[in-house]
């Protein structure tokens, strides 16, 4: 089955030689956004998704240290806002801004 997906990258100007870091790719399922890796039966637990409680998630760019941490509700809302724009790729920075502006 093909689910809507959003790829999250980090492309900050501070990255050496203009490198782009892949952060994660999310798929929209009936109950919300999940990392694509979690769709596979034997995937490792990561970022707080694997234990079924999904209460808090953390993502960090390995190249510049940009960090996003938030509750499941905050991350779900940010990804929904990105998806509403009709794009399939966004940056960690955009998600960080959207999460910080959550009302």
Between CA 59 and CA 71 the distance in angstroms is: 12
Between CA 92 and CA 27 the distance in angstroms is: 16
Q: Give the closest residue to 6 by CA, choosing from 93, 88, 94, 81.
A: 88
Please write the tens of the pLDDT for every residue from 38-91. Answer: 776 555 455 455 445 557 889 999 999 999 998 888 999 999 999 999 999 999
Q: What is the pTM of this model?
A: 0.84
What residue spans define the domains of the chain?
Answer: 5-100
Please write the tens of the pLDDT for every residue from 5-31. Answer: 999 999 999 999 999 999 999 999 888
Position 30 scores a pLDDT of: 85
């Amino acid at each position: 089955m093909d689910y809507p997906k959003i790829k999250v990258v980090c492309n900050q100007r501070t990255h050496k030689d203009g490198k782009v870091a892949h952060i994660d790719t999310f798929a929209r399922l009936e109950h919300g956004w999940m990392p694509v890796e979690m769709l596979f039966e034997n995937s490792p637990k990561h970022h707080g998704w694997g234990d079924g409680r999904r209460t808090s998630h953390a993502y960090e760019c390995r190249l510049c240290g940009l960090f996003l941490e938030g509750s499941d509700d905050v991350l779900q809302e940010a990804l929904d806002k990105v998806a509403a724009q009709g794009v399939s790729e966004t940056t960690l920075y955009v998600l960080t801004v959207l999460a910080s502006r959550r009302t």
